[in-house]
Structure 1
Amino acid sequence: MDIRLIAIDLDGTLLNSELQITHHTIDVLNRVPSNVEVVICTGRTIAELPEELQYIPNIRYIITSNGAAVWNRQTKEKLSECALTSTEAITLMKGFQQFDVRMEVFMLGRILVEPYYYEHFEAYGGSQHTDFLKKTRTPKENVLQYVEELCEPVEKFNLFFKHEHERYTAIQQCIEAGYQVTTSFAHNVEVNAMCASKGRALQTLAEILGIHQQYVAAIGDQINDLSMLDYANYPIAMGNAVDEVKRVAVVETLTNREDGVAAAIEQYIIKGEKNEHLFF
Structure 2
Amino acid sequence: MSEPTQHPIRFLLSDMDGTLLLPDHSLSQRTLEAVRSLREAGVLFSLATGRPPKAMLQQIEALGVDLPTAAFNGGTLVHPDGSILVAHYLPATAALTTLTLFADLPDIEVWVFSGGDWLAKDPSGPMVPREQHGLGYPPVTVESFEPYLEQIDKIVAASHNTELLIELEAQLLAKVEGQAQVSRSQPVYLDVTAMKANKGEALATLAEFLGVPLEQTAALGDGGNDPAMFHRAGLSIAMGQAEEAVQRQAHVVTGTNTEEGAAQAIERYILPR
Q: TM-score, normalised by structure 2?
A: 0.85
CA distance in 1, matches of 2:119, 2:94: 17
CA distance in 2, matches of 1:48, 1:109: 10
Moved more, 233-242 or 77-86: 77-86
CA distance in 1, matches of 2:33, 2:165: 44
Report the 3-state secondary structure (helix = DSSP H, G, I; strand = E; otherwise coil) of the residue aligned with 2:266: helix
* Aligned positions of 1:7-156 closer than 5 A: 7-33=13-39, 35-49=42-56, 51-73=58-80, 75-86=81-92, 88-90=94-96, 92-100=98-106, 101-114=108-121, 116-119=122-125, 121=126, 126=127, 129=130, 132=133, 135-147=136-148, 152-156=150-154
Displacement, 1:200?
1.0
Match of 2:3 in 1: none
Amino acid across the alignment from 1:173: L
Match of 1:173 in 2: 172
Q: Tell me: CA distance 1:172–1:131, structure 2 relative to 1, closer, same or farther (3 Å).
A: closer
CA distance in 1, matches of 2:221, 2:56: 17
Displacement, 1:50?
5.7
CA distance in 1, matches of 2:67, 2:263: 18
Report the 3-state secondary structure (helix = DSSP H, G, I; strand = E; otherwise coil) of the residue aligned with 1:261: helix
Amino acid across the alignment from 1:70: L
Displacement, 1:130?
6.1
CA distance in 1, matches of 2:66, 2:242: 23
CA distance in 2, matches of 1:162, 1:56: 31
Could you report, residue by residue, the CA deviation over 1:153-180 in whole angstroms, capped at 9, with x for unpaired residues?
Answer: 1111011257655862464234322321
Match of 1:257 in 2: 258
Amino acid across the alignment from 1:177: V
Moved more, 167-176 or 4-13: 167-176
Report the 3-state secondary structure (helix = DSSP H, G, I; strand = E; otherwise coil) of the residue aligned with 1:129: helix
Q: Judge conservation of contact 2:112–2:155 (CA < 8 Å) in 1.
A: yes
Report the 3-state secondary structure (helix = DSSP H, G, I; strand = E; otherwise coil) of the residue aligned with 1:184: strand
Amino acid across the alignment from 1:16: L
Gaps of 5+ in 1: 274-280
Could you report, residue by residue, the CA deviation over 1:232-262 in whole angstroms, capped at 9, with x for unpaired residues?
Answer: 1100111111111211222111111121111
Q: TM-score, normalised by structure 1?
A: 0.83
Is 1:3 the counterpart of 2:46? The answer is: no
Match of 2:4 in 1: none
Q: Judge conservation of contact 2:241–2:255 (CA < 8 Å) in 1.
A: yes
CA distance in 1, matches of 2:115, 2:69: 15
CA distance in 2, matches of 1:212, 1:134: 32
Amino acid across the alignment from 2:39: P
Is 1:160 the counterpart of 2:158? The answer is: yes
Q: Tell me: CA distance 1:131–1:248, structure 2 relative to 1, closer, same or farther (3 Å).
A: closer
* Runs of 4+ residues deviating >4 angstroms: 161-167
Displacement, 1:61?
2.1
How many residues are matched? 262
Q: Tell me: CA distance 1:176–1:88, structure 2 relative to 1, closer, same or farther (3 Å).
A: closer
Report the 3-state secondary structure (helix = DSSP H, G, I; strand = E; otherwise coil) of the residue aligned with 2:197: coil
Report the 3-state secondary structure (helix = DSSP H, G, I; strand = E; otherwise coil) of the residue aligned with 1:142: coil
Q: Tell me: CA distance 1:56–1:133, structure 2 relative to 1, closer, same or farther (3 Å).
A: closer
Gaps of 5+ in 2: 1-6
Is 1:186 the counterpart of 2:192? The answer is: no
Displacement, 1:80?
1.1
Percent of aligned positions that are identical: 28
CA distance in 2, matches of 1:10, 1:18: 12
Amino acid across the alignment from 1:196: A
Question: Which gives a bigger RCO, structure 1 or 2 (Cα 8 Å, sep 6+)?
Answer: 2
Match of 2:270 in 1: 269
Displacement, 1:191?
0.8
Amino acid across the alignment from 1:176: K
Displacement, 1:131?
5.3
Amino acid across the alignment from 2:116: G
Could you report, residue by residue, the CA deviation over 1:1-32 in whole angstroms, capped at 9, with x for unpaired residues?
Answer: 70011110011000001111112211221221
